[in-house]
Chain A
Amino acid sequence: MQLLWQILVNGVLLGGLYALMALGLVLVWGVLNIVNLAHGALIMLGAYACYYLFTGLGWDPFAALPVAMVLLFCLGYVIQRYVLNLIIRAPMFNTLLITFGFEVVITYLAQIAFSADFRTINPSYAGANFSFLGATVPLVRLLAFAVALALTLGLWLFLEHTRIGRAIRATAQNLIAARLYGVNPRHLYALTFGIGAALAGAAGTLYGVVSQINPYIGSGLTGKSFAIAIIGGLDKSIYVLAGGLFLGIVEAVTALYIGPTYTDVVSFGILVLVLIVRPTGLLGRTA
């Protein structure tokens, strides 16, 4: 019983991070109709940005997070504005293929720049734990969870209550409505993708703190983000959060009762099941 509680706590903490990982993917997918197969690669870049700020400049990883977000935002903006904007009206299938191309390029550049070794980001307080109703909660995981939650909330507030945020949401409906907000669509699209990339960068930073990274983690993380997005539902940020928490808990429980090597079987198995039975996600509206 005690063990189950610990597992649940672990799962929830992981779930918050998962939700953040999927958030950028869902935003870009919902608004721009772009299925970004390079999403995981962007997460990976965020992790490395934080790593180098941490080891090179001695910054605390949570302080480096905003910087990583800004860097990834710029990268995302440029990618969308100068490349993806050129194909935005093509069939969605093309976005799958082109983002795959990006994934290949980014991964290889990363491999050359950073080498293939595994790295971790280990701040001085990495070992600190405290107890929560009998479960051990590592400080870094709690902080990561808190940041993930804060960013998820932040995105929702941004989309609901700012002019640009509402313009972005309007774009998801149709472009003409978006023009009414007076924002240049090319810029708007680039902003959206940039925000998606920034969220990926934040997720990467947090991921780097709680787990190991190397240039090849991209495709696995993309897959996982997909699973979370589909399982939760693409319509709202809250669905993504639910999807992330759900998957986090499921994986933690699977790791305990079946075995840690089976987590992917379960995650992707659920993804396929959800698609077959309820494609709009466990919470999404029936199409």
Chain B
Amino acid sequence: MKFSTKLALAGVGIALLATVPWWGSAVLVQFGINALILATLAQSWNIIGGYTGYPSFGNSVFYGLGGYGVAIAMVQYGLPFPVGLAIGIGLAVGFAILLGLPVLRLRGHYFAIATLGLAEVMTAIVSNLEIAGRNVGLILPLVKGDVLFFELSLILLVVTTLAVMWISRSRFGFGLIAIRENEQAAAVMGVNTTLYKILAFALCSVFAAVAGGIHAYWITYLDPGSAFDVALNVKMIIMAVFGGPGTIFGPVLGAFVLSAISEILAAKVTSLASIFFGIVIVAAIVFMPRGFADLVRRFRQSGWRYFQENIRTYRV
């Protein structure tokens, strides 16, 4: 599919989505907000994980810092929401730069575990902070109208995706991809790998933080467990990986499709909500570990045998 066609489709999609709050049911709108925020997170992860090849398990920290930035600003200091967002972004970027420096020197799975550790540390630290309401958390002022949050989330997703689009056709993005493909070769060819990695990390922190801020304000409640939810990390990674890491629209697709599947399955058997997400993950890793993009590409050649081939490639 040509890029201009994809772009046109995306444009139509955005326009359609923007109208949802006016004809959709309350449940649909809420599902939409959650899906949009998850898509933003998956897309932000895409920058550090998909393009740069550093699988971060710590993006939930940026999300949480964004949420707490908003919550503390509004609850403790009576500042307006945009200021709270700015503070959240500041905290997240600061964290990305300060902790990115040591942690981005680690390779592959050590990096993943280090960021996981960071997520746990932040949860523990924040649950001890008075200003953040400790373990109890904070309650934010109520704003009526899911419409506002829906549109905000949609705008955020569009901006994040535009950023990724810019990355994919810029010198910066090329540098990131080179780092992913072969960091040592990239360095000898003139890519300032340390700077680029930190920039990528900081960039994804911005979008994750705003997502966290919007989400916190929307559900009007924030506590360390939900703000720095470690499971959220894995969710956004899975969505990005399934949609297609290192692509522009992949993570968005992955987020929407996986969210939709889970919701639909959950709606049929209401008491087993989250369990379907787990089952879908297991099935997807076994049958289509290279994501939707790969599935679409190879299905044309192999048909249903695609799934079998995947298993054959990776089994004992």
A-to-B contact residues, CB < 8 Å: 35, 37, 83, 85-90, 92-94, 96-98, 100-105, 108-109, 112, 185-186, 189, 219, 223, 226-227, 230, 259, 261-262, 264-265, 268-269, 271-272, 275-276, 279
Contacts and interface: CB of A to CB of B under 8 A. Distances in A.
B282 A105 contact: yes
Nearest to A230: B113
Given A86-B311, A89-B315, A276-B106, A268 B117 contact: yes
What is the size category of the interface that chain B forms with chain A? 35 or more
B186 interface: no
Given A94-B289, A100-B234, A219-B230, A268 B124 contact: yes
Most buried by A among B55, B231, B278: B278
A224 to B, nearest CB: 9
B121 interface: yes
Contacts of B125: 265
Contacts of B271: 112
Given A98-B286, A219-B231, A272-B103, A105 B315 contact: no
Interface string B101-145: 011011011101110111011011101100000010000000000
Contacts of B311: 86
15 contacts: A94-B285, A97-B238, A97-B285, A101-B281, A102-B278, A104-B277, A219-B231, A223-B117, A259-B128, A262-B128, A264-B120, A272-B103, A272-B121, A275-B113, A279-B110
B273 to A, nearest CB: 8
A98 B103 contact: no
Nearest to A216: B225
Nearest to A29: B109
Contact of A97 (B103, B109, B241, B273): B241
A261 B128 contact: yes
A98 B124 contact: no
A103 B108 CA distance: 22
Contact of B289 (A37, A90, A223, A264): A90
Contacts of B302: none
A223 B282 contact: no
A79 to B, nearest CB: 10
B314 A88 contact: yes
Contacts of B76: none
Contacts of A271: 113-114, 117, 120
Nearest to B287: A86
A87 B112 CA distance: 20
B275 interface: yes
B286 A86 contact: yes
Contacts of B17: none
Contacts of A98: 281-282, 285-286
Q: Which applies to chain B's interface (DSSP): helix, strand, loop or mixed?
A: helix
B313 interface: yes
B83 interface: no
A108 B278 contact: yes
Interface in B278-303: 278-282, 285-286, 289
B126 to A, nearest CB: 10
B255 interface: no
Nearest to B135: A261
B44 to A, nearest CB: 18
Contacts of B123: 264
B125 to A, nearest CB: 5
A85 B316 contact: yes
Contacts of A93: 55, 109, 112
The 5 closest A-B CB pairs, nearest first, are A104-B278, A101-B281, A264-B124, A105-B278, A101-B282
B314 A83 contact: no
B117 A227 contact: yes
Contacts of B241: 97
Given A85-B315, A271-B114, 9 more contacts: A35-B109, A86-B315, A89-B316, A94-B314, A261-B124, A271-B113, A271-B117, A275-B110, A276-B102
B107 to A, nearest CB: 9
A206 B127 CA distance: 28
B274 interface: yes
A145 to B, nearest CB: 25
A90 B314 contact: yes
Contacts of B108: 92
